[in-house]
Amino acid sequence: MKTRRIVRERLVPHTVDGRTRLVPDEEVIEVPVPPRDWDQIALNTVTVIVTVLVVVCVAWSTVSIGDLLGRVVVAPAAYGAAAVFDLAWIALMIIEWLARYTPDRARAARNGGIAALLIAMGAVGTHGWLFGDAATGIVGAVVSGLAKGTWTILLDYQAAPLSRRDAAFFEQELSEAAVELARMPVRRRVTRARALVEAERIALDPDRGFADPDRPEESADDPDADVLTIRPGALTTKDAVRIAWDSGIRDDADAARYVAKATGKAPSPDTVARYMRMLRNGLAS
């Protein structure tokens, strides 16, 4: 069995004058060399050959169709349009390869590639026929057919065969992933729309947007307009502070004690102080 030498560095203990430290040291090991994979070498060779065929095909078709179109348009536009004929079926072959795990989608790309190839072959044959050399046109068209056919066989060989159940499973996996991707922009649009609606509502009715002009943030003791209370007739902190004020109480601490007695729970001193300040400034309603 063939082997190859590998030099690697590792840390080994080394002692000097009774002190031990880990120092780097080189180690040479022999590892077995795997046998040559002739199947993969052959496949790589075929891939290179087919790639060369496609390049030659594109060059031939572009020159032929470009010369044909050059009779009615300028040369740059003619040759640019001529390249589209072959690039179309090459692009569809790539799509066919990418869709190899979804046979239905791959079939659509293959049919489109065949249609694009037939159009390109017809254009090459027409060029030869118009210039009085039908044989050259036919041979040139066959070049495109050979390149496309070879690539199709190569793709079929490299694509993993799937049963109908496996193909259906992968279709569902891709569908779920597509739904997750589609949900992201939809969620952004919904959030943006709701934010615009809320901004317009606050702009048209600013008093509903804040609990207090002096303090925009809402207190935990303030009732939420969107939530129904369990006891509709229960006394709120704001109402209790108003009653205390009307009773002649002007000290914040005394008002807080009254609110605790009236509502049955200890209020936030900051909330009581805020309502008292609003009453002193004549802002409470």
Is 78 found in the same domain as 59?
yes
Is 245 found in the same domain as 154?
no
| Inside any domain, residue 105 | yes
Q: Quick one: pLDDT band at residue 205, thresholds 50, 70, 90?
A: low
| Inside any domain, residue 169 | no
Is 228 found in the same domain as 150?
no
**For 30-80, what is each residue's pLDDT tens digit?**
888 888 888 888 988 988 998 888 888 888 888 888 888 888 888 888 888
Q: Does pLDDT of 225 surpass 50?
A: no
Last residue of a domain, one of 158, 173, 198: 158
| Inside any domain, residue 26 | yes
Least confident of 6-15, 127-136, 241-250: 127-136
Q: Does pLDDT of 214 surpass 50?
A: no
pLDDT at 45: 92
Last residue of a domain, one of 124, 158, 192: 158
| Inside any domain, residue 84 | yes
Q: Does pLDDT of 209 surpass 50?
A: no
Write the DSSP assignment of 76-144 as a string of letters: HHHHHHHHHHHHHHHHHHHHHHHTTTSHHHHHHHHHHHHHHHHHHHHHHHHHHHHTT-HHHHHHHHHHH
Q: How far apart are CA 107 and CA 231, in angstroms?
A: 66
Range of the domain at 13: 3-32
Percentage above 90 pLDDT, the chain: 1
When comparing pLDDT for 48 and 283, which is higher?
48
Is 279 found in the same domain as 257?
yes
**For 166-200, what is each residue's pLDDT tens digit?**
888 888 888 888 888 888 888 888 888 888 888 87
Is 77 found in the same domain as 11?
no
Q: Quick one: pLDDT band at residue 283, thresholds 50, 70, 90?
A: low
Tokens of 284: 């409470």
| Inside any domain, residue 206 | no
Give the residues across from 10 on adjacent strands.
25
Among candidates 122, 128, 120, which has minimal Cα distance to 82? 120
Cβ(145)–Cβ(117) under 8 Å?
A: yes
Q: Please compute the mean of the pLDDT values over residues 247-271 and round it to a whole number.
A: 86
Tokens of 183: 């949900």
Is 59 found in the same domain as 23?
no
Is 105 found in the same domain as 54?
yes
Q: Does pLDDT of 218 surpass 60?
A: no
pLDDT at 285: 56
Is 244 found in the same domain as 139?
no
Is 45 found in the same domain as 28?
no
CB atoms within 10 A of CB 97: 15
Cβ(140)–Cβ(64) under 8 Å?
A: yes
| Inside any domain, residue 135 | yes
pTM: 0.50
| Inside any domain, residue 223 | yes
How many independent structural domains does the chain possess? 3
Tokens of 74: 């300028």
Is 45 found in the same domain as 97?
yes
The dihedral region occupied by 249, where left means phi > 0, alpha psi between -120 and 50, and beta the remainder, is: beta
Q: Does pLDDT of 224 surpass 50?
A: no
| Inside any domain, residue 194 | no
Cβ(96)–Cβ(155) under 8 Å?
A: yes
Last residue of a domain, one of 129, 158, 187: 158
Q: Does pLDDT of 233 surpass 80?
A: no
Is 45 found in the same domain as 16?
no
Q: Please give the mean pLDDT across all residues of the chain.
A: 81
Is 62 found in the same domain as 151?
yes
